[in-house]
Chains A and B, each alone.
Chain A
């Protein structure tokens, strides 16, 4: 019994990067906020690049609480969908080229989202990482943390519940 030769590294990287960018680019609001995602294996970290449109308090200045909430929610939904789709595009069941040309699987829907504001967001880039604590067939629970200068000094964190997209066949 010989195991199959592993795929060339470029093939793996190209497929995963293409899947992630197709996912991120399909959502206009992510582009509007200027959020990007970076990947290492299946781990993803998002960055909200600071710009003046994100300011909530011009006197301090500080990032708007709503922009922070949106950043956390975007990170939660994309990370949840990323882990949901991962086995499908890795096995070939989901065609990454189809995703790139706009045939995107449906996104999870937010049921509720609770944000904890720990300190004010400074006028600089923010980073976030989400953890999927539970992902069932219908519901998922996701936690997300955001920081700026120091990874251990969070400026906001959130928990949200999501409704997973159902197969059209099982809905009827």
Chain B
């Protein structure tokens, strides 16, 4: 189990797009993953306020949900997003790191159901929440 987790961590850190966005996986295991993404000016979506683009938050949510699926005890060999819905509650405060926690709450033979929540330093009110379905590939 431990080397599975190690593998998943390396796998996520080897994703070029996630690396380009500065993502760092901080916790993983048992169908749950935590990924942080530090503030960066190149990710700005609203030039007026300096708030990060929703698309960057989507990429963070998608990566984190995928990581949660990979770490599920059913040990999928790979996964892909079927659909992902994101609700944006508020703009992330400029300058602050965004922290996302994804939980794979149900897995069938073919599908994993995942929820995620993103916050900044103000942890009481979420920046965004996500809910998605992912494919489950099991090596036979």
Contacts and interface: CB of A to CB of B under 8 A. Distances in A.
A and B: interacting chains: yes
A26 B50 CA distance: 11
A62 to B, nearest CB: 8
B55 A74 contact: yes
B107 interface: no
A55 B15 contact: yes
Interface residues of B, number: 38
Interface in A28-49: 28-29, 31-33
A54 B42 contact: no
Contacts, number: 131
Interface stretch (B1-9, B24-32, B56-64, B111-119): B56-64
Interface string B96-126: 0000000000000000000000000000000
Nearest to A67: B17
Given A28-B41, A28-B47, A73-B54, A66 B83 contact: no
B16 A54 contact: yes
Interface in B80-100: 80-88, 91
> How extensive is the interface on chain A, given as a class?
35 or more
A33 B55 contact: yes
A116 B82 CA distance: 6
B79 to A, nearest CB: 10
B18 A115 contact: no
Contact of B16 (A52, A71, A107): A52
16 contacts: A26-B47, A27-B44, A27-B53, A29-B45, A29-B53, A29-B55, A53-B16, A55-B16, A57-B15, A57-B80, A64-B15, A65-B62, A106-B48, A109-B88, A111-B87, A117-B81
Given A66-B62, A106-B46, A114-B83, 4 more contacts: A27-B44, A28-B45, A29-B52, A66-B55
